[in-house]
Chains A and B, each alone.
Chain A
Amino acid sequence: MKNELLKLLETDARYTPEQLSVMLDIPLETVISYIDELEKNGTILGYKTVIDWEKTNRESVTAMIDVKLTPQRGKGYDRVAEKIYNYPEVQSVYLMSGAYDLSVLIEGKTMKEVAFFVSQKLAPIDEVISTTTHFVLHKYKDTGVLYDAVLDIDERGNCN
């Protein structure tokens, strides 16, 4: 039941506890206590809004950087991952299997700003062996949400 609750909140964080209680057929107090518990134990980490910034006048570029590393004795990749994720411009850091070690998603105002981050902050870290930067040209879908979908047009025919 908790997983069902989480799935619903993942699709729309603005569902009210009252709505969730009816949709899941569990008492309102239970919904409230579940959410409280899941927030406290760190399962629910936050509630964010999905925004297509391309539709605004805010300048931004996103890049995915493949980073190869030398692991540190006794600490593996954790210490260096921490060094990287502490930069506020870094959106995500994933440890990967395969040809490189970390995948770093970074957002900056301009390409120059991202390039500056890579050359001045990321590449100089001792454990970093190499970086490959890929700029995102257009987002089609992100975290399950379509970016170009035309909203609220119901084309279904009324025929029965």
Chain B
Amino acid sequence: MDYSKVLSKTIVDTEKSGIRKFFDIMETMDDVVGLTVGQPDFVTPWHIREAGIESLEKGKTYYTSNAGTLELRIEIDKYLTRRFGVSYSPEKEIIVTVGGSEAIDIAVRSIIEAGDEVIIPTPSFVCYAPITRMAGGVPVIIETSVKDKFKLTPEALKAAITPRTKMLVLPYPNNPTGAIMTREELKDIAEVLKDTNIVVLSDEIYAEMTYGHEHCSIASIEGMKERTIIASGFSKAYAMTGWRLGYLCAPAVMIEQMLKIHQYCIMSSPTTSQFAAIEALKNGDDDVKMMVEEYNRRRRYIYNGLKGIGIDSFEPEGAFYIFPNIGQFGLSSDDFCSRLLYDYKCAIVPGNAFGAGGEGFARISYAYSIKHITLALERIEKFVKTL
């Protein structure tokens, strides 16, 4: 059989994620101290797990309605109103998805057709460009820079817009840089977008993890809700990555179309997870606060620790990553990270895995205990002393 004639060319041409390559090497080695994981080290709080277990004990093992249980959608609306001042109709403007990833996928697929351009600020999470291409769209990359604190500027946005622009991905708080966008900065972005037909896909999965500034959703800025899709979920805020649960909020006319994709390819999101998520939203605020306080302590610890060994970083204001500038050592991101891994058994992710603009940087996750971070910093210090 000639598989080259069988497999979809679009998929074959889709590059394997740069992070994946690095993880594959790492997993073949022993005694590696890694700071690579992009998920919380906390276990889902017990009362949330218990709600999932209780739903199983009561035999709630059916599909829910396609958009998710109404009770959960009501809680999502209450949560977004309480935390970020944006409200969505539980009946018509919310879909419960399989993680934030599905939310991003169906948002793109419901908007993008062959040749449509999607503006993607980078460095950012690895899925936006491949998902755009799979939908037939064309990714238009904006490289944000450390001098702008890795924020999207209105000037860069204006320069990237063409008549074919259909969507702007807004990935803040940002993985991998830890950048955030404040309300004032988002207002400037909104100013560029008003009176256009450009849709904003705002990936707010790290919304709870901000330090110093409260997260601002672009949907809460006047005139933006009608053109904004919020993709978010429970993975990061509630330490629920394995439950695979997220959500999409958007104007009813968009949700109606997105629901068709979700209905045909997913049916409904995991029922057990939906029951756990209701408990998370009803009684989980204190858990989130506790975890965010802990991330904040680690953030300061790793920022100062890197500074102490002569590695400068932009001080992250969101998510749980720091993106130090390693270009000063005269090695490419790949070389720096490979040598650190092979010779000093410490794993961090090369910054170019998140877009070409990440060259010269590396992503370090601080979703680890202080003890683990201390051990990793010792290894990094030994390495940079040889450079």
A residues with CB within 8 A of B: 8, 12, 15, 19, 22-25, 154, 156-160
Contact status A160-B126, CB under 8 Å: yes
Contact status A22-B36, CB under 8 Å: no
Contact status B27-A23, CB under 8 Å: no
Contact status B297-A23, CB under 8 Å: yes
* 0/1 interface trace, chain B 333-368, chain A, CB 8 Å (1 if under): 000000000000000000000000000000000000
Residues of A within 8 A of B27 (CB): 158
- Is the C-beta of B41 less than 8 angstroms from some C-beta in chain A? yes
Main secondary structure of the interface of B (DSSP, over half): helix
Residue of A nearest to B347 (CB): A158
Residues of A within 8 A of B304 (CB): 22
Residues of A within 8 A of B125 (CB): 160
* Further contacts, 5 of them, CB under 8 A, given A8-B297, A15-B370, A160-B38: A12-B370, A22-B305, A23-B300, A154-B37, A158-B19
Q: What range describes how many residues of B lie at the interface?
A: 20 to 34
B residues with CB within 8 A of A: 19, 23, 26-27, 34, 36-39, 41, 125-126, 175, 241, 297-298, 300-301, 304-305, 370-371, 374
Residues of B within 8 A of A24 (CB): 297
Sort A-B residue pairs by CB-CB distance and give the 7 closest, nearest first.
Answer: A23-B297, A158-B23, A160-B38, A22-B304, A156-B37, A22-B301, A22-B300
Residue of B nearest to A20 (CB): B297
A19 to B300, CA, bound (A): 10
Contact status B300-A25, CB under 8 Å: yes
Contact status B39-A156, CB under 8 Å: yes
Which of these, B26, B126, B371, B374, contacts A158 with CB under 8 Å?
B26
- Contact (A19, B126) CB under 8 Å given A24-B297, A160-B38: no
A154 to B34, CA, bound (A): 10
Q: Would you give the shortest CB distance from B240 to chain A, in whole angstroms?
A: 13
Residue of A nearest to B368 (CB): A154
A37 to B14, CA, bound (A): 61
Residues of B within 8 A of A25 (CB): 300
Q: Give 19 CB contacts A-B under 8 Å.
A: A12-B370, A12-B371, A19-B370, A19-B374, A23-B298, A23-B370, A24-B297, A25-B300, A154-B34, A154-B41, A156-B37, A156-B241, A158-B26, A158-B36, A159-B38, A159-B39, A160-B19, A160-B39, A160-B175
